[in-house]
């Protein structure tokens, strides 16, 4: 039984990998289940035994992308000792993942549309909910550790409301950066077009944390070192 389950898991991962290649080449909206079956060299029956619909396949892809973030969070905790460094590495690490994924990062956004969940299997939607919830718990835990360490607020001059606002702002920033850097308009002459993406990300981190009254003694060069360190781990 275990060997059979392992075989199914490996085949499912192979299908998702092939689908990701197709999306990069042709885009998600041109994707057809028949193309997926052909590319993955499986029958339509086999494909549907793994993914009951195109929407179910979309959730499966999103799950695999989210697991990259789970792995990134583990590396952040192993690589950095100080909570503030972990917090900075978490945000910049999320940016690097989005950068590497390119168009695929938007699949995560599409997969959260209610109509997609309605047509996907219960198994797939429950899995993605579980992964998302665990990611949020891990990220909020890092924020809490950073606040409790007094690195950001040496005199503990923050309250529960400030903590919640920082959590929401940092979480939203990761999502927002993903959309900003994928916008076609980013290539035209705008304020952002003349900025390096990594620098924008680091400036945003500093702006959010100091905007709530936090004190970051880490200078810009140190921020870049943290960015380089987590980039090597991904």
* pLDDT one-digit tens code per residue, 192-226: 555 677 777 787 778 777 777 777 777 788 888 89
Q: Look at residue 35 in the predicted model and tell me its pLDDT.
A: 92
Question: 3 and 80: one domain?
Answer: no
Question: 72 and 186: one domain?
Answer: yes
**pLDDT-derived band of residue 129, with 50, 70 and 90 as boundaries?**
very high
Question: 10 and 84: one domain?
Answer: no
CATH number at residue 19: 1.10.10.60
| Residue 56 placed within a domain | no
Question: 109 and 217: one domain?
Answer: yes
| Average of per-residue pLDDT across 150-159 | 75
Crossing angle of helices 2-26 and 33-40, in 10° steps, is 120
Q: Is the pLDDT of residue 161 over 50?
A: yes
**Taking the mean position of all CA atoms in its chain, how far away is CA 152?**
24
Question: 115 and 212: one domain?
Answer: yes
**pLDDT-derived band of residue 190, with 50, 70 and 90 as boundaries?**
very low
Q: Look at residue 204 in the predicted model and tell me its pLDDT.
A: 78
* pLDDT one-digit tens code per residue, 40-91: 999 999 999 999 998 999 999 999 999 999 999 999 999 999 988 998 899 8
Where in the sequence is the domain holding 37, given as residue range(s)?
Answer: 1-50
* CA 212/CA 207 separation, integer angstroms: 9
């Amino acid at each position: 039984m275990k060997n059979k389950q392992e075989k199914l898991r490996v085949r499912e991962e192979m299908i998702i990998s092939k689908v990701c290649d197709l999306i990069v080449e042709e885009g998600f909206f041109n994707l057809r289940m028949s193309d997926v079956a052909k590319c993955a060299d499986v029958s339509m029956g086999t494909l549907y035994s793994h993914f009951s619909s195109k929407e179910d396949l979309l959730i499966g892809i999103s799950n695999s992308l989210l697991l990259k973030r789970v792995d990134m969070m583990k590396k952040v905790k192993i690589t950095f000792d100080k909570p503030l460094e972990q917090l900075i590495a978490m945000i910049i690490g999320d940016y690097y993942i989005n950068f590497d994924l390119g168009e695929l990062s938007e699949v995560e956004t599409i997969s959260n549309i209610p109509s997609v969940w309605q047509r996907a299997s219960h198994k797939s939607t429950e899995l993605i909910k579980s992964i998302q919830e665990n990611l949020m718990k891990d990220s909020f835990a890092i924020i809490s550790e950073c606040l409790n360490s007094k690195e950001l607020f040496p005199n503990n001059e923050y309250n529960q409301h400030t903590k919640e606002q920082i959590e929401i702002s940092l979480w939203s920033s990761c999502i927002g950066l993903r959309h900003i850097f994928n916008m076609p308009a980013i290539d035209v002459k705008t304020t952002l077009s003349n900025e390096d993406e990594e620098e924008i990300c680091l400036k945003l981190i500093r702006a959010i944390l100091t905007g709530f009254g936090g004190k970051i003694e880490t200078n810009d060069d140190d921020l870049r070192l943290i960015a380089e360190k987590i980039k090597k781990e991904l």
